[in-house]
Structure 1
Amino acid sequence: MERHARAGRTLCAAIARLPTARYTREGLLVMEICRRKNQIEISELDPFLAELLRQIPASANREGAPAAEERIFSAPTNGSETEFRSEWRMYVEPELRRLFQTAAQTVAGDLEQLNGNEKNLANRTLRIPTKHADAWLSALNQARLVIAVKNSFTETELNDHLHSPIGSRRDLSLFQVNFYGFLQEFILRELEC
């Protein structure tokens, strides 16, 4: 399985020129993203990309990844202000946990549209209400952070858009991080319109 090198940059250019964003693989339309009224519509989702989307809530799960937990709930100080850190943990962290959990639940609810006959290999469409955009941004960000920490990706790996073949679970995870990043970018662009 392969993906085109620098797909992210191609996507950005395509978004600027076209009314809808198109993600292509070897000349075939794989996915189309556009805003329709109060929804962000992702259509022509092949089963592979639909499965990556279904994995967002599970990928955002920090369980068993203390480094991801620390990264997501890092205090805004370097640790020298112990009283501030203590207050942060007491007052801010519980609310962040609640917000993150709510975001994951919202995304999981939206993703129910993709459930169904798994033997059907037809492309699917996902409609995300724009009022859920913040929840999607949060869940996608959490998933990207957790995946990156669990795989110990370096900054170089995360910025290597020339890495093309998916030959291992690690490669697939890197693709997943980049795919989720593309979705975040598109959602943000749609919110600016």
Structure 2
Amino acid sequence: MTRTVLHIDSSARTEGSVTRDLSAQIVARLGAADVIHRDLATPLPLLDGAWVGANFTPADQRSEEQKQLLSLSDTLIEELKQADTIVIGAPIYNFSVPSTLKAWIDLVARVGVTFRYTETGPVGLLEGKRAIIAVASGGTQAGSDIDFATTYLRHVLGFIGITEVEIVAADAMSIDAEGALAKAQDQIKALAA
């Protein structure tokens, strides 16, 4: 039973967005007791030199300014840690994810916090979670050679330890919008709550 869902919307469109609609339907289907909603329509800050410097300063040596620089990242990571399931609404923009979603990823993928390096390679630290990604595209077919969005999201989520990733796709909507939406609806109905 899903207890807590982190619901992330990344479409620039706040109205009429297919991924916002699909991700909301997924969240409703899961019937979680608690939902944390993170809307990336208001963009997150991009990483800069000061942030990187703060991140690579040992935690016990960070200045108050460095702690403040990392506070949003800490909050976003805490939201991930609280969630059993992460639902991400991710439209495919120019074959990849929206820049706002990439900014979120940059803020949550932190060495020593959400992943660590070992002699045998990186190990994700957020294991035991499930992710469901609702994608929509005009012409890109999900899982095709030109879909860099779902492959990237699967990879980066796995990198931080979230390996159970499911895709709900309303793809190639410019070709057959009705069929794409019907397929996505069937995928939502088939999701285990």
Specify if TM > 0.5: no
Structure with the bigger percentage of helix: 1
More strand by share: 2
- Higher RCO by CA contacts (8 Å cutoff, separation 6 or greater): 1
TM-score when normalising by structure 1: 0.26
